Structure 1
Amino acid sequence: MSDMLISSILTITVPVADQGAALDFYTRALDFEVRSDNPFPMGRWLTVAPKGETTTLLLASWFPDMAPVGGLVVGSSDLDALAARLREHEVAFDGPSEQAWGRQLLFHDPYGNGFVVSQA
């Protein structure tokens, strides 16, 4: 058996118009933590992730023509608490709702990137 050519997903690029405002949304509304915030020729190399997660989201402002990411599927152990937090931060969402595959909640960040949150 050979080694795996790709062994993990490290970072997913999420297009945003304003890195500072995106950082505020992801850290305050979603309680993500900053993993890196370094100067970069086209802005900042700014990554965030849920606490304990190894895959990060790169909040990139240097792709003005990049379409929003659709259907990022993430997990939550408490969809009702997430719904309350999103409501507190005035984020529109659908759910939580019961589906054939389990409970889920849907929302978009301020830049149109879509999230499907499944009960984990």
Structure 2
Amino acid sequence: MADMFISQIVTVTVPVADQERALAFYTEVLGFEVRTDNPFPMGRWLTVAPKGVASTLLLASWFPGMAPIGGLVLASPDLDALAARLGEHGVAFEGPADQPWGRQLLFQDPFGNGFVVSQA
């Protein structure tokens, strides 16, 4: 058995053009909580995550040339409720749809970052 050199994913950097707008989307639409919001030489060190989840998303505005990320996979216990919530906030999405590997929904944040949400 190989040695384990990495024990967890702590933070994923999500490029955003406007941290305030991103903060509103992730907290008000997706229901994430703020984990850190501290001054940083290039803006704010602003992290969010679903309640009770250790890994965070860093909403970083200091990478203007960074392309949006895609394929970050999240989980939801109720994809229909999530779809309704996204629709209420004018967020375009695909699904929920049954796939051979399970049920999923796709959406993008206001900055073009793409997410896959699997039924948990």
Residue 17 of structure 1: aligned partner: 17
Structure 2: gaps spanning 5 or more residues: none
Distance 2:2 2:106 in 1: 39
Name the Cα RMSD after superposition: 1.0
Residue 32 of structure 2: aligned partner: 32
Residue 83 of structure 1: aligned partner: 83
Distance 1:44 1:52 in 2: 23
Q: How does 1:1-120 map to 2 (within 5 A)?
A: 4-120=4-120
Distance 2:43 2:67 in 1: 19
Q: Give the 4+ runs in structure 1 shifted more than 2 A.
A: 1-4
TM-score by length of 2: 0.97
Provide the identity percentage.
77
TM-score by length of 1: 0.97
Residue 4 of structure 1, CA deviation? 2.2
Distance 1:22 1:102 in 2: 29
Structure 1: gaps spanning 5 or more residues: none
| Number of corresponding residues | 120
